[in-house]
Structure 1
């Protein structure tokens, strides 16, 4: 049976990340309002449109699950890139560090070693 490790890395990761994405637009709006007062979690601006920011980055196999996403303006999202969220939040003077920590408490990014022998449900292999 084909496994995930045998696929092209980006193709397999894209599908795995999609499988773990269950954040709806209404859920994101609720997170932004309830925990962050509709402000960017980093620069505290409440006037800029908000985007979804992965706290655990894609590079580190973070997904768009509700407890790994915070609201962030485009400028901060682009500027932060793959940097550690804590360092960036401190640099920007965020007043939401405790809220970010609470959001990601218990979050587990994808573990490629754990998935290495997992059958790929998107490939059908005949016997």
Structure 2
């Protein structure tokens, strides 16, 4: 299913993606990622293998702010997709059964 966004929504996403790019180049993000720990699965990775995940996804109203981004592995980032934190926790509990 294709998603269609209004011009104002497109400008919001562009602005937030630009802010995320700036955050990724900041010392704050480099230090956070340098720990090498995925926020979700808690496994260790090389820092360059971690991606930036929006805890509350942009498509669900989140922002590219320090309190809303965490380092995570590509597998968790792909699985989490656009889930909210409580939806992700339910998903993780379901697959551990």
Give the 5 Å matches for 1:43-62.
43-47=41-45, 49-62=49-62
Query: 1:42 touches 1:88 (CA, 8 Å); kept in 2?
Result: no
Q: Specify the alignment match of 2:12 in structure 1.
A: 13
Q: Separation in 2 of the partners of 1:29 and 1:60?
A: 26
**Structure 1: which 5+ residue stretches go unaligned?**
1-6, 93-127
TM-score after normalising by structure 1: 0.52
Provide the aligned C-alpha RMSD in A. Answer: 2.6
Equivalenced residue count is: 83
Give the 5 Å matches for 1:1-127.
8-18=7-17, 20-21=19-20, 22-25=22-25, 26-33=27-34, 37-47=35-45, 49-89=49-89, 91=92
Q: Are residues 16 and 77 of structure 1, via their aligned partners in 2, closer, same or farther at CA, if it must alter by over 3 Å?
A: same
Q: Are residues 10 and 76 of structure 1, via their aligned partners in 2, closer, same or farther at CA, if it must alter by over 3 Å?
A: same
**Structure 2: which 5+ residue stretches go unaligned?**
1-5
Q: Separation in 1 of the partners of 2:82 and 2:62?
A: 11
Q: Separation in 2 of the partners of 1:69 and 1:10?
A: 20
